[in-house]
Amino acid sequence: MSFALARGWRVPRLPVMGVAVGLVALSAFVAPVAPASRPVPVRAQPPVEVTEVIIPQAWANDAAIELATADLRSAFAEVYSLPTRLISDDAPWPAPYSVLLLAPDAPFYQRLVADGQLTPQPLGEDGYRLLRTTYRGVPVVLVIGGSLRGTAYGVFRFIELLRLNPEAYTRPLDLKVEPAVALRLVSSPTGENYPSPEDALRWGYNAVAITQWPWLLTFDRVDPAIYASPEDRAWVEANRARARAEIARAKALHLDVFTSGDVISFPNRVAELYRDQVGIPGEKPVYCLNRPKTQELYRAGLRELLRTFPEIDIVMVRTGENYPAGPVSGNPPAMRECGPSGNDPVAMVRLVMEITYQEVVVAGGKRYIQRAWDIGGGGFHANPAVAERVVAGFADRPNLIVSFKHTQTDFWRYNPPNPNLNRFAPARMVEYQSAREYEGKGAFPNYTAGLIANGPPELGGGGGLAHLVAGGLQAAWVWAQGGGWGGPVVRSYVWLDANNYAAARLLWEPSLSPKTLALQWATLRFGPRAAPHLARVLELSEAVVLQTFYVAPFARRQGAWVPNVAWTRDDLIFGADRVGALYQQAKSAADFAEALAEKETARQLLREMVAEMARGADLATDPNLADEAFNTVRYGEALLNALIDYLTGLFYYFRWVESGRMDATARSLSLRALDAWQQHWTVYTEQVPALSGVASLYQDRGMLQAVANARADLEGITLRR
């Protein structure tokens, strides 16, 4: 096994339990080898001794421009060891190889046009143009934006070009870019806001999230008694203070602000005060939207939100699930307890949309995003017939966007592209997840650019971002982190960084190759010598994850909803009932062989991935990042091998049982795989946690008992209860 071969990490020899392990010889470790010396980046020879960055006077104190120019100065220092001077554009003459940040009303822009050195080209608000030209015989680089935000995007792209190829500073350059997706949201939907507004701007997004809006409402104009509790009042006031700080930070960078919320959500006191006027009282109250008082309170909350926080640009609403926090409780708008008129999902979501549109768009002058997400495969989110009934009559309403995950159901593989994304008006938004919640959440490599760009290869592709853009897609929301119910909790963001880099670039240029993006990301983070190896790690990871976490024959029969029967979910590994369900749908001779061949292919690709990571780590220019990344690959190697052997061992065990316990080959192979599982699991639980930067561990939810029961049966042992 390659776990101990890579860069000198010695693993103690583990005892062999039972039959000698034939699938993987875990005890055959080699002596550590001293790692190669780290390469030192070679700085390019600059054509000047100092670089001037010339900024319009009106932009002197702008936070976005300050951030962009600070990054540019750092890039010149790191790439060329070149100092940088910031100069206002009232200077009479630029120095050679100056970088000019321009707007159409800037003096240098007008001089360049007058001298015939610049032909004006129209730019959208977020568009930019990078151009190397001459100003009266002096070579200069122009960064022209359609707005301050567009100019900042242009500076960040120029920085990337310099880091990827230092010669870009002196070579011909004329690059005009407009984003393919107009509204680009990024956030961590289930945790603290990530990325920072500064990083969101660097990555090319134009909208970030603040605190969820149901947590910001006091309902004081309705009844001050709703938040009479000092403790509850302190909670909501702390949320409001945090939201104001989040808004100020985002607005300083010219980013739009959105806030999401589950409907229906009210402070707990609402149920106590209004009882059956709003729903069904009790320890866990049910709010009924078909009651006038509930509608009145919902309207009042939206009005308070926009009156208190007029800087909010977008209000997002989810109606398919409801997860309250603090002194707030809630439920979806359609509930059985609310009677026939209150239990019609289509009618209740349409009622939410009508009220929200009137308050947010018509009265508030804001944009409104309605998330279609709901549980299962037959509702608003997944079923075109239901979706068309929900949005009927809303198609021509401005400033309304309906949002769908890019998968037909949840963020699983073996999910076709969501058919609603290219089907009907109104405007549509697609949701992508960087930390795949059923596939490790970034604890180990799992590259998602191919899924965004091309769709799921296991289903023949289709539904890639370019196709959606051609169909009129107007917005995208990237979940940079977050999703699911639990862990693993990542401590290294390196693989999320790779996914977020690719997603951000694709929203501007959907035709970019995922392989090219992987190589560019790896070059930027690990240096050009290590980059091909790190890019290969990313490329391999997509197939490794698919073939480890899913069983192809089962997934094809199961369909889009829970195509892996959740034998792993979040950081939990379940027992024989769920693995048995996989087996029952894949036990024919052909399916059984396919399922286990798939797992052995995953093991081989995983071995190759670890070897590539080892080679790349020794060539990386950032040793700390390389060690951190390699530790997460070690984590993934031990975990994924354990999962492969666990499933393989149980599959052979189930086959042995169904043979009347007569199939000696199945018995032997089951014991062999379970021996291998034991050794991988021991490495994972006892040695991996000592590695710096690795995520929290997966947890047993029936696996250990399943293995113990299987081994006892295979060995003829009666377990004590």
The rounded percent of the chain whose pLDDT value lies above 90 is 85
The rounded percent of the chain whose pLDDT value lies above 70 is 94
User: Residue 215: pLDDT band by 50, 70, 90 thresholds?
Assistant: very high
Q: Which residue from 108, 131, 133 is spatially nearest to 121, judged by alpha carbons?
A: 131
Q: Dihedrals φ, ψ of 401, to 5°? A: -125, 135
What domains can you pick out in the chain, each with its CATH number? 2-39+537-715 (no CATH), 51-169 (3.30.379.10), 183-524 (3.20.20.80)
pLDDT at 369 over 90: yes
Span 632-666, pLDDT tens digits? 999 999 999 999 999 999 999 999 999 999 999 99
Ordered DSSP codes for 116-139: TS-------TT-EEEEEEEETTEE
Span 346-362, pLDDT tens digits? 999 999 999 999 999 99
pTM of the model: 0.93
User: Residue 426: pLDDT band by 50, 70, 90 thresholds?
Assistant: confident
Rounded Cα gap, residues 402 and 430, in angstroms: 9
Three-state SS sequence of 225-252: HHHCCHHHHHHHHHHHHHHHHHHHHHHH
The pLDDT value given to residue 498: 98
Task: Kindly state the average pLDDT of the residues 694-719.
Answer: 95
Task: Kindly state the average pLDDT of the residues 402-417.
Answer: 97
CB 168 within 8 A of CB 80: no
CB 423 within 8 A of CB 574: no
The pLDDT mean for the chain works out to 92
pLDDT at 19 over 70: no
User: Residue 111: pLDDT band by 50, 70, 90 thresholds?
Assistant: confident
Span 314-336, pLDDT tens digits? 999 999 999 989 999 999 999 99
116: left (phi over 0), alpha (psi -120 to 50) or beta: left
Rounded Cα gap, residues 7 and 5, in angstroms: 6
Span 218-258, pLDDT tens digits? 999 999 999 999 999 999 999 999 999 999 999 999 999 99
User: Residue 17: pLDDT band by 50, 70, 90 thresholds?
Assistant: very low
In Å, the largest CA–CA distance within the chain is 93
The span from the first CA to the last CA of the chain, in angstroms, equals 36
